């Protein structure tokens, strides 16, 4: 796989990254042997970026990555770590934290669990509404100066926050949900802002949490995720699966699966919209192998137009998260017109 740079001076990565959340945080967590093999398969295939968070499995995911890394693997791996998601003993999320003291304390524990002296990208998982982004990024910048962090990233933030953070310290990438079923970054200014500032995009949810795999079947009794992922709700699910089915003839003509076509579509956006890396949420080695093959597919302009016609940007039914979770996303907030006018000198 060809490599690309995240940000102006960020790490060199492949167009495909491995998201490790589902190995620890899932209704049916991955078999540990499968999880270890998946991480190693990704590294052996040339995938360099491993995405994790200190709250995935309350530290389990970082410990898993440490055990998966063999001799020499740490030099290959680009470790991207999110922080700030607070959880209770029952696993429930209880808040978001971005204060400078928490930033430094959280990193100390992550370094110990990962068994390393630095992380390559460190990022708040969500914007803490009680802490200015300048304070959070400023604290990470101090960790960069001290050598504990190489680069700073962001996650699920809008254009205004991206610009404010980038003014404090260069941001290498913004992590955002982006797929054929989640096209908002194309119209809300996030992709444009990242391209203008020379910031990369790491796109997660490329298979729409399973809706774009081409193999998803609704469990008997309904999908338990429907209460927090409205696109799985019975009111929306049938329409969304029918929409995904419209990709089957296009995938067949290309000699790929629906999942591979959807992955290739995200990777191809890096050719059109700046640096875009697809974050694959895999739990088994076979999925890595399929995605690596998809990353090598170059879609033509005609194929991209056919995909857009089959799955229009506004055709998916339901929001990507339930209302309480959507309220936590700075990326979903309308831009502040007063601040935008001021920034533009108006």
Concerning whether 56 is annotated as a catalytic residue, the answer is yes
How many Cα atoms sit within 13 Å of 180 on the Cβ side?
A: 31
The candidate with the shortest Cα–Cα distance to 279, out of 118, 80, 56, 122, is 80
Q: Helical H runs in 77-121?
A: 100-114
Task: Give the SS3 label for residue 53.
Answer: strand
Cα separation, 95 vs 86, in Å, equals 5
CA distances from 47 to 18, 178, 219, 282 (A): 7, 20, 32, 13
Residue 96 sits at the vertex; the CA angle it makes with 28 and 18, to the nearest 5 degrees, is 45
Nearest to 173 by CA among 196, 194, 147, 149: 194
Catalytic residues: 56
């Amino acid at each position: 796989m060809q490599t690309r740079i995240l940000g102006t001076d960020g790490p060199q990565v492949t167009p495909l990254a491995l998201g490790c959340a589902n190995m620890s945080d899932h209704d049916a967590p991955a078999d540990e042997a499968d999880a270890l093999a998946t991480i190693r398969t990704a590294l052996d295939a040339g995938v360099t970026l491993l995405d994790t968070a200190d709250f995935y499995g309350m530290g389990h995911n970082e410990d898993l990555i440490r055990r998966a890394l063999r001799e020499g693997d740490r030099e290959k791996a680009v470790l991207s770590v999110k922080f700030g998601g607070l959880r209770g003993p029952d696993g429930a999320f209880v808040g978001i934290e971005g204060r400078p003291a928490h930033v430094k304390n959280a990193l100390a524990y992550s370094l110990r669990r990962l068994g390393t002296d630095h992380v390559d990208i460190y990022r708040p998982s969500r914007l803490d509404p009680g802490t200015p982004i300048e304070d959070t990024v400023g604290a990470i910048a101090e960790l960069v100066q001290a050598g504990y962090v190489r680069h700073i990233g962001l996650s699920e933030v809008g254009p205004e926050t991206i610009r404010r953070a980038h003014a404090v310290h260069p941001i290498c990438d913004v992590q955002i949900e982006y797929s054929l079923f989640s096209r908002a970054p194309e119209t809300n200014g996030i992709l444009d802002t990242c391209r203008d500032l020379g910031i990369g995009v790491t796109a997660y949810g490329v298979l729409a949490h399973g809706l774009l795999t081409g193999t998803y079947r609704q469990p008997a009794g309904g999908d338990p995720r429907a209460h927090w992922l409205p696109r799985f709700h019975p009111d929306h699910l049938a329409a969304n699966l029918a929409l995904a089915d419209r990709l089957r003839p296009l995938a067949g003509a290309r000699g790929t699966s629906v999942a591979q076509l959807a992955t290739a579509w995200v990777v191809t956006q890096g050719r059109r919209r700046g640096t875009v890396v697809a974050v694959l949420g895999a739990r088994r080695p076979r999925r890595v192998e399929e995605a690596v093959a998809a990353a090598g597919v170059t879609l033509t302009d005609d194929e991209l137009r056919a995909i857009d016609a089959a799955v229009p940007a506004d055709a998916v039914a339901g929001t990507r998260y339930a209302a309480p979770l959507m309220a936590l996303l700075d990326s979903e907030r309308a831009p502040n017109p007063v601040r935008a006018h001021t920034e533009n000198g108006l």
